[in-house]
């Protein structure tokens, strides 16, 4: 089983202040911690588990620059066999279609049975690259996958629907699956583990090496074009409770009793 | 006249609510930009859904086939592509749901129409379409336009538009012949599966103490459980806690978990992803505690506390006594 996993490094904005660049084209990432996209981490783990059961190899790939190398090394330390970086210089400002074209070029160079990607990314959240890539490859796909079971030349998956419901699907290989968080428990990566893979060569491919011309992937090729970012207008805001933790706790209990009528 | 189409989402014999939010958006595009709205219903035995939609929109297009009995992107994208090629709507809308996320990006490639997903605002600007998306955990809004195209695909985040009321009067219902499918099919629908029900039903509790990513470690979960017990509340959580298997799926509040309407919702260390907030709509008093003053949860809560959740847990326990 030859598996390609598409990963991406993203800034961690869940618990941090996000500040726009002065020209409004992006956010200031210098002060933000960053790491592998959460969904992608589950995808890498799932690929390694499949390899452990069925044999084969796991290749992780990213479209990025030197600062994404740590993410790829982390994947190698988890148990991926190979890592490939596609130099992202020509992809600057690319929309999900540009990214998917790059990944199609890469997938076309191998003979993969399965391509896994995170169901979405924690930064721009399009949730498009996986199914668009499948469309370009002409392969079956499933999004929001919560379990994967290989059966010969087919794969059985469950997809997460709303309200705790799942659907079960079967499809022919090769296929593209986008992985939902919670599908597995990603293994811990130790510093020792990362050290062990520090010498592993990570080839860096330029667009020409995957059969793409720069005109196909840069911002000029975008089908969806960014027209600027903004801080959301302040909407209804909560009434803030202030004071020492003890004072706040008292206020919370009062609200619970008086307005909630419980406790 | 340019058209705007709403792709009707239905599952297990019912139209899903998000469809009616898109009816509101389609009417808005009609009012502001003169687009002619219509609904598109795809499936088997969906005539009844079309009758329902005809009370909301002036035109409903139905594609019926045995092969469309269960949703698969493979057949639905082929049927929808045929409708788009013959009808050439300028804008086609679908909910950003497990249905829309599976269908629209793929349809975009196969119908050669650009797609923007998870939009919270959609408007015509001159002859072009403009959308707003909420990114970076809801902390930034991004406006996008499209490369010129004869048609655009847009999926819309649930809750972005209010559900529509019936328009009064009956719209036209038209059959669109189902196109032939490329066979053999490469995907097969095998059935639905309910997530295993657990020992608790959080939707029945009038008071929920809910924990999120801020709980940090499985060893901290008992602290929250103890607080919930002392308050006479039930412990619930947001998705990251279930993803890490620290609590069971039956305790998850949100679109992919349970929808709840307690009298009091006390959220501890929950940032407030829209999928979570959609699960507590219509709740009574909503109090949120989070270290991050910019967390989106403060835009939804009635009362907010910017503080370490563990300090508040300890202070609450102290106030209650033992």
pLDDT digits (tens, 9 = 90+) for B212-262: 999 999 999 999 999 999 999 999 999 999 999 999 999 999 999 999 999
Mean pLDDT (whole number) for B159-187: 94
At B313 the pLDDT is 97
**Per CATH, the architecture of B202-320 is what?**
3-Layer(aba) Sandwich (3.40)
Q: What is the CA radius of gyration of chain B?
A: 22
Contact B147 A132 (CB under 8 A): no
Is some CB atom of chain A closer than 8 A to the CB atom of B205? no
At A219 the pLDDT is 85
pTM of the model: 0.95
Establish whether domains B3-175 and B202-320 are of one fold.
Answer: yes
pLDDT at residue B322 tops 60: no
At B196 the pLDDT is 66
Residue of A nearest to B197 (CA): A164
Q: Whole-number mean pLDDT of chain B?
A: 95
Q: Looking at per-residue confidence, does A164 or B268 come out higher?
A: B268
Is some CB atom of chain B closer than 8 A to the CB atom of A22? no
Domain ranges of chain B: 3-175, 202-320
Q: Does domain B3-175 bear CATH number 3.40.50.620?
A: yes
Contact A169 B189 (CB under 8 A): yes
How many CB atoms are closer than 10 A to CB B28? 17
Mean pLDDT (whole number) for B302-320: 96
At A205 the pLDDT is 94
Cα–Cα distance measured from residue A128 to residue A222, given in angstroms and rounded to the nearest whole number: 14
At B294 the pLDDT is 86
Residue A245 lies in a domain: no
Contact A162 B192 (CB under 8 A): no
Is some CB atom of chain A closer than 8 A to the CB atom of B288? yes
Residue A248 lies in a domain: no
Of B1, B28, B296, B48, give the one whose Cα is nearest residue B156. Answer: B28
Is some CB atom of chain A closer than 8 A to the CB atom of B148? no
Is some CB atom of chain A closer than 8 A to the CB atom of B191? yes
Cα–Cα distance measured from residue A5 to residue A63, given in angstroms and rounded to the nearest whole number: 12
Q: 3-state class of B143 per DSSP?
A: strand
Contact A127 B305 (CB under 8 A): no
Residue A131 lies in a domain: yes
Cα–Cα distance measured from residue B105 to residue B270, given in angstroms and rounded to the nearest whole number: 30
| Pairing relationship of beta strands B10-11 and B14-15 according to DSSP bridges | antiparallel
At B200 the pLDDT is 87
Mean pLDDT (whole number) for B65-82: 97
Is some CB atom of chain A closer than 8 A to the CB atom of B230? no
pLDDT at residue B120 tops 80: yes
Residue A113 lies in a domain: yes
Most A CBs within 10 A among B10, B18, B71, B102, hence the mutation to make, goes to B102
Angle at the Cα of B122 (from B117 to B124), degrees rounded to 5? 125
Q: Which residues of B touch A104 (CB under 8 A)?
A: none
Cα–Cα distance measured from residue A111 to residue A158, given in angstroms and rounded to the nearest whole number: 25
Is some CB atom of chain A closer than 8 A to the CB atom of B185? no
Q: How many residues does chain B have?
A: 322
Contact B146 A225 (CB under 8 A): yes
Q: How many domains does chain A have?
A: 1
Residue A206 lies in a domain: yes
Q: At A162, which CATH number?
A: 3.40.50.620
| Pairing relationship of beta strands A2-7 and A57-64 according to DSSP bridges | parallel
pLDDT tens-digit series, residues B163-174? 999 998 899 999
At A17 the pLDDT is 85
Residue A229 lies in a domain: no
Q: Which residues of A touch B195 (CB under 8 A)?
A: 164-166
Residue A238 lies in a domain: no
Q: Which domain holds residue A166?
A: 2-221
Is some CB atom of chain A closer than 8 A to the CB atom of B272? no
Q: Which residues of A touch B134 (CB under 8 A)?
A: 232
* Assembly ipTM: 0.95
DSSP string, chain A: -EEEEEE-EEE--TTS---B-TTSSSB--TTS-EEE-HHHHHHHHHHHHHHHHH--EEEEEEEE-GGGHHHHHHHHHHT-SEEEEEEGGGGTT--HHHHHHHHHHHHHHS--SEEEEESS-TTT----HHHHHHHHHT--EEEEEEEEEEETTEEEEEEE-STTEEEEEEEESSEEEEEPTTSS-PPP--HHHHHHTTTS---EE-GGGGT--GGGTSGGG-SEEEEEEEPPPP-S-PEEP-S-HHHHHHHHHHHIIIII---
Residue of A nearest to B283 (CA): A260
Residue A254 lies in a domain: no
Q: Looking at per-residue confidence, does B84 or A108 come out higher?
A: B84
At A24 the pLDDT is 84
For A107, B176, B258, the CA distances from B82, given in Å and listed in that order, are 29, 9, 36
Is some CB atom of chain A closer than 8 A to the CB atom of B284? yes
Is some CB atom of chain B closer than 8 A to the CB atom of A33? no
How many CB atoms are closer than 10 A to CB B271? 26
pLDDT tens-digit series, residues B139-149? 999 999 999 99
Q: Which residues of A touch B306 (CB under 8 A)?
A: 240
pLDDT at residue B277 tops 80: yes
Contact B304 A262 (CB under 8 A): no
Segments of chain A scoring below 50 in pLDDT: none
């Amino acid at each position: 089983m030859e598996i390609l996993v598409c990963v991406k490094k993203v800034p961690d904005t869940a618990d941090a202040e996000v500040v726009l660049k002065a020209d409004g084209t992006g956010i200031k990432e210098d002060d933000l911690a960053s790491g592998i996209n959460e969904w992608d981490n589950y995808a890498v783990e799932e690929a390694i588990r499949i390899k452990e059961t069925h044999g084969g190899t796991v290749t992780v790939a990213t479209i990025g620059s030197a600062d994404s190398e740590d993410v790829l090394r982390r994947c190698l330390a988890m148990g991926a066999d190979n890592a490939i970086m596609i130099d992202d210089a020509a992809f600057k400002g690319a929309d999900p279609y540009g990214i998917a074209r790059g990944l199609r070029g890469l997938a076309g160079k191998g003979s993969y049975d399965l391509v896994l990607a995170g169901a979405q990314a924690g930064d721009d959240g399009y949730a498009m690259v996986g199914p668009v890539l499948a469309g370009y490859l002409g392969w079956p796909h499933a999004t929001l996958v919560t379990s994967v079971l290989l059966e010969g030349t087919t794969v059985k998956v469950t997809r997460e629907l709303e309200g705790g419901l799942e659907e079960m699907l079967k499809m022919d290989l090769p296929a593209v699956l986008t992985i939902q968080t919670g599908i597995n428990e990603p293994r811990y990566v130790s510093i020792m583990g990362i050290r062990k893979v520090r010498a592993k060569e990570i080839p860096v491919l330029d667009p020409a090496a995957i059969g793409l011309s720069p005109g196909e992937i840069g911002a000029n090729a975008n089908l969806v074009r960014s027209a600027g970012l903004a801080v959301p207008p302040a909407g209804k805001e909560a009434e803030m409770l202030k004071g020492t933790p003890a004072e706040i706790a008292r206020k919370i209990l009062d609200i619970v009793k008086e307005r909630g009528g419980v406790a | 006249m340019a058209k705007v189409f709403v792709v009707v989402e239905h599952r297990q014999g019912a139209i899903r609510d998000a469809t009616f939010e898109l009816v509101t958006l389609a009417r808005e595009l009609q009012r502001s930009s003169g687009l002619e709205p219509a609904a598109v219903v795809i499936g088997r035995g969906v005539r009844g859904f079309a009758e329902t939609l005809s009370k909301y929109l002036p035109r409903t297009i139905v594609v019926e086939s045995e092969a469309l009995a269960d949703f698969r992107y493979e057949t639905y994208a082929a049927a929808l592509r045929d409708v788009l090629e013959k009808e050439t709507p300028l804008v086609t809308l679908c909910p950003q749901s497990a249905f829309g996320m599976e269908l629209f990006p793929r349809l975009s490639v196969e119908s050669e129409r650009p797609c923007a997903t998870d939009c919270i605002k959609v408007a015509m600007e001159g002859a072009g379409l403009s959308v707003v998306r909420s990114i970076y955990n809801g902390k930034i809004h991004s406006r996008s336009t499209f490369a010129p195209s004869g048609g655009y695909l847009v999926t819309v985040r649930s809750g972005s538009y209010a559900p529509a009321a019936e328009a009064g009067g009956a719209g036209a219902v038209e059959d669109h012949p189902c196109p032939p499918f490329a066979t053999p099919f490469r995907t097969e629908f095998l059935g639905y599966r309910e997530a295993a029900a657990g020992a608790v039903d959080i939707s029945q509790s009038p008071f929920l103490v809910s924990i999120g990513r801020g709980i940090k470690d499985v060893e901290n979960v008992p602290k929250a459980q103890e607080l919930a017990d002392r308050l006479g509340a039930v412990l619930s959580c947001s998705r990251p806690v279930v993803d890490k298997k620290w609590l069971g799926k039956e305790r998850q509040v949100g679109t992919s978990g349970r929808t709840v309407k307690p009298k009091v919702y006390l959220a501890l260390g929950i940032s407030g992803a829209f999928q979570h907030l959609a699960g507590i709509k219509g709740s009574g008093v909503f109090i949120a505690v989070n270290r991050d003053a910019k967390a989106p949860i403060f835009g939804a809560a009635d009362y907010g506390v910017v503080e370490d959740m563990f300090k508040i847990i300890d202070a609450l326990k102290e106030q209650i006594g033992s």
